[in-house]
Structure 1
């Protein structure tokens, strides 16, 4: 196993917001609490320790024990759940949708980041315990985002009618998906394991929450991962004061809108808050709550309440109120003794919008850590890259820029007109001076001629490059093939490919090798040769 790192900024796949955060640009300081390094966790531990009530820990552990009643948990996971009662125990959390068969590879990287950071923190702060947590997004209702995964260029899709929270979806119709996937897998020891895993998860559990819990536990129980479904009344009771404040005072809307004004001066805004950032949740229903005509209404229904009635509904049925993207992170921080949230670039982008809101409601803001990002290369792929003399950095270039650069490098002819263009510009500088001194009305004509000649050089360069590509067609084809294999559909491998492709080749060594290879606090993109 060989590891090579490159800065996130150099990949071209990450926003300026994320790259500036990793560079610790001072302009971003108001939007987060502490930067993710080992030393900063000391203060984070101290801050969180005084804010978590013992009763909150008890409720959490009781809820987790109920959730784990029908699952074969490892001793390490059960120990981690028990430790959560103690005031010296904290969580490292990631959240993710209930993607079919884990969806893209980064599902694994998020969870492995929590596992490895928990280990690192235990080594640095041995008097404390650190528990890796996967927060299942059971209340999401975007079924189209999770109902498929990609396998060897094919989309394995679950067609199902969906309303309401996806966690409650019955697993009807997944037997057909299983048959299709089984044919694609073929026959081998590793293929048989993947078939059993899919079958045990989706055909032996009645809903998507239970299926996903089983699947994540099967993959990561050995590392003590704790999986939580927060869609439970006992947990939501603890969130009642914050949901009531949201309904009556719209604190999140006011705070986040103010933050957005400041953040938008330099960066794009990931999400815009609603005036009320809660959904109403019942069987086959998850719709926004709005305040209109002095009534609280559930969109697309006849349900409505006045102020007293909705307060009563909240107290009696907190489980019917579901936080959206603005409120969910706060819910997590209220019910978990959490130190750090690990997420992708898009997730961290909306977390940066929340800092002022947390200050207003007096909840410690967690350390934000960008999850590990990985490009897995097989031995054969590395051999092809070496043979074609393709560098680690070049493979990240966009397809046209990649091919143009490589053609210029391997061509016997130097097809780079940059020197000629510079020479031409200098000549025209003299012509501008001449026109200035004689008749300024000629400046426009000089400019037009400069543009025309530079455009002519551009066109000639492109035609020569095209001709050279045709002469080097075989090499160009091989270069395109290797880049497409590593960047399916022109995107990062981790955002497209399912883990099953690599499990077929590496089997039970895949996850241990990833655990060994990923360094959560490295803050660089990993190219991993397995």
Structure 2
């Protein structure tokens, strides 16, 4: 495999400036991830505030229990033992529990967490462990219930799992039946081409789903299988045992809710005043916590001295909600603005690995960290890749096009190439014919109008019919040209659908098992090895 740099169009102006022009947005964040001194200062701050976080012994027991069920690997146990010891730091990143791990960016986030933890450990000369935070508390089922693969016919095929009728609960609480798993696996198996690795892939997927009754558990088992040997610790934010450890911060969020709201509003104002758009909503009177009632997850707001949802289904006084937190912490969960605070209360977070959208909305939390006497961790942009298979690279070389050509002007170049195959220059002749016909016919219609005005409309209608017939023949000639060059056009199509499916970067669409089916499950280790050194720059991996 060969790795080269190649910029990828940004999805966020704020994140783009954070990565490339940090000095312009430093006041919206904290430490510069590119500076070694930032890492050293963060480590010192974590040492000084050790007593402010959850007990390491209690955290060890909680994470050991969870990983024992889904991620029981010796290297993970070693990471957990290290995390138990004061002084050990963590590189943390998270994602929703997508179907069959979801899109490639989830895999790249895990790789970034693992590699940056190794580099930080070497840089600081102290233990740093990788932690993956599964956002099982999220309730947006439509974001996680599907994944995409490319079919042999060069189509982007969606595998989707419909939800069972029931409450709008967190993903970790939505039950997935064996029949749903079977249907999803059958579709995936029908899409994946036959290969020497296919049976192993399907066996792994079948095994992970048979032992899981929800998406989050299956996701954890797959991530454990792929990354457990690298010591990646997993946690599910919806784990009831973890909720018990989060209880003190839930109470603090209620006590300091007005101050936190002002902090989020101030940050939002600062961001928009610089011309950036907000990546998360800062709702007026928002409590920035969810409450689960009869299986449904409700966002809480402050209304007339009460904490309640917008529909008036639930309502608490301040003391009532704090009492409920103490007795039923599993009923509460964070939103995007309080999750960063919770993460730093649970773990000694040296750095948080984030995608571009996350980097943008984390800017809203800087003041909130300070309100609670905390400090924003180092925000590390997730590593980004595009996988280019050997045959694909051969096609690109054959047509003389680059990755940037594919990204910005593929269709124009495809049409230019097709026109070059028209050696008789039929298409230009059609254009010349239409121009010549109009040049002869328009004066004739004008003369008819002088003779009898009523003939003008008839002349225009007649002209349009003739032009339609010429255009019809032109289309048929182009179809014949395309049919004659079908093999070449399929090569162009393969380039586009492989690198930018659905008009999006590959990493945001395709599933890793398409590639593992070709190269084997152990290819994950090759990916980790070739990305040995962290880089925020997008990289193209030529397979």
Deviation at 1:331, TM superposition (A): 0.6
Distance 1:296 1:509, change over 3 A: closer
Among 168, 175, 179, which residue is 1:170 paired with? Answer: 175
Asked if the contact 2:54/2:345 (under 8 Å) is kept, the reply is no
Query: Could you tell me the TM-score, scaled by structure 1's length?
Result: 0.83
Q: Is residue 34 from structure 1 mapped to residue 31 from structure 2 by the alignment?
A: yes
Q: Is residue 270 from structure 1 mapped to residue 283 from structure 2 by the alignment?
A: no
Match of 1:312 in 2: 323
Deviation at 1:282, TM superposition (A): 4.7
Asked if the contact 1:122/1:129 (under 8 Å) is kept, the reply is yes
Match of 2:259 in 1: 251
Deviation at 1:329, TM superposition (A): 1.2
**Mapping for residues 126-525 of structure 1, pairs under 5 Å:** 126=125, 128-152=126-150, 153-161=156-164, 163-172=168-177, 173-185=180-192, 187-248=194-255, 249-264=257-272, 265-274=274-283, 275-282=286-293, 284-300=295-311, 302-400=313-411, 403=414, 474=485, 478-518=491-531, 521-525=534-538
Instruction: Out of 66-75 and 336-345, give the one that drifted further.
Output: 66-75
Deviation at 1:221, TM superposition (A): 0.6
Match of 2:431 in 1: none
Q: Any idea what the Cα deviations from partners look like across 1:49-91, whole Å, max 9, x if unmatched?
A: 2222275212211101121333462211101011111122111
Give the Cα–Cα distance (whole angstroms) in 1 for the partners of residues 118 and 19 of structure 2: 22
Distance 1:203 1:235, change over 3 A: closer
Asked if the contact 1:171/1:202 (under 8 Å) is kept, the reply is no
Give the Cα–Cα distance (whole angstroms) in 1 for the partners of residues 185 and 97 of structure 2: 17
**Mapping for residues 16-27 of structure 1, pairs under 5 Å:** 16-27=13-24
Query: Could you tell me the TM-score, scaled by structure 2's length?
Result: 0.81
Secondary structure, counterpart of 1:353 in structure 2: helix
Deviation at 1:25, TM superposition (A): 3.8
Deviation at 1:352, TM superposition (A): 1.4
Deviation at 1:238, TM superposition (A): 4.5
Asked if the contact 2:138/2:170 (under 8 Å) is kept, the reply is yes
Deviation at 1:398, TM superposition (A): 4.5
Structure with bigger gyration radius = 2
Deviation at 1:42, TM superposition (A): 1.2
Asked if the contact 2:287/2:307 (under 8 Å) is kept, the reply is no
Secondary structure, counterpart of 2:68 in structure 1: coil
Give the Cα–Cα distance (whole angstroms) in 2 for the partners of residues 125 and 210 of structure 1: 34
Give the Cα–Cα distance (whole angstroms) in 1 for the partners of residues 364 and 258 of structure 2: 16
Match of 2:84 in 1: 85
Give the Cα–Cα distance (whole angstroms) in 2 for the partners of residues 71 and 323 of structure 1: 23
Give the Cα–Cα distance (whole angstroms) in 2 for the partners of residues 140 and 14 of structure 1: 22
Q: Any idea what the Cα deviations from partners look like across 1:154-186, whole Å, max 9, x if unmatched?
A: 111111225201112222121222222223335
Deviation at 1:402, TM superposition (A): 5.0
Give the Cα–Cα distance (whole angstroms) in 1 for the partners of residues 422 and 265 of structure 2: 54
Give the Cα–Cα distance (whole angstroms) in 2 for the partners of residues 380 and 509 of structure 1: 21
Give the Cα–Cα distance (whole angstroms) in 1 for the partners of residues 19 and 480 of structure 2: 43
Match of 1:103 in 2: 102
Distance 1:232 1:383, change over 3 A: closer
Distance 1:186 1:38, change over 3 A: same
Give the Cα–Cα distance (whole angstroms) in 1 for the partners of residues 332 and 15 of structure 2: 32
Deviation at 1:519, TM superposition (A): 5.0
Give the Cα–Cα distance (whole angstroms) in 2 for the partners of residues 291 and 34 of structure 1: 33
Secondary structure, counterpart of 2:359 in structure 1: helix
Asked if the contact 1:38/1:121 (under 8 Å) is kept, the reply is no
Give the Cα–Cα distance (whole angstroms) in 2 for the partners of residues 513 and 472 of structure 1: 43
Distance 1:238 1:500, change over 3 A: closer
Deviation at 1:512, TM superposition (A): 1.3
Q: Is residue 12 from structure 1 mapped to residue 12 from structure 2 by the alignment?
A: no
Distance 1:360 1:411, change over 3 A: farther
Q: Tell me, which stretches of 5 or more residues in structure 2 are unaligned? A: 151-155, 424-474
Instruction: Calculate the aligned-residue CA RMSD, in Å.
Output: 2.7
Give the Cα–Cα distance (whole angstroms) in 2 for the partners of residues 516 and 360 of structure 1: 41
Give the Cα–Cα distance (whole angstroms) in 2 for the partners of residues 512 and 472 of structure 1: 45
Distance 1:52 1:282, change over 3 A: farther
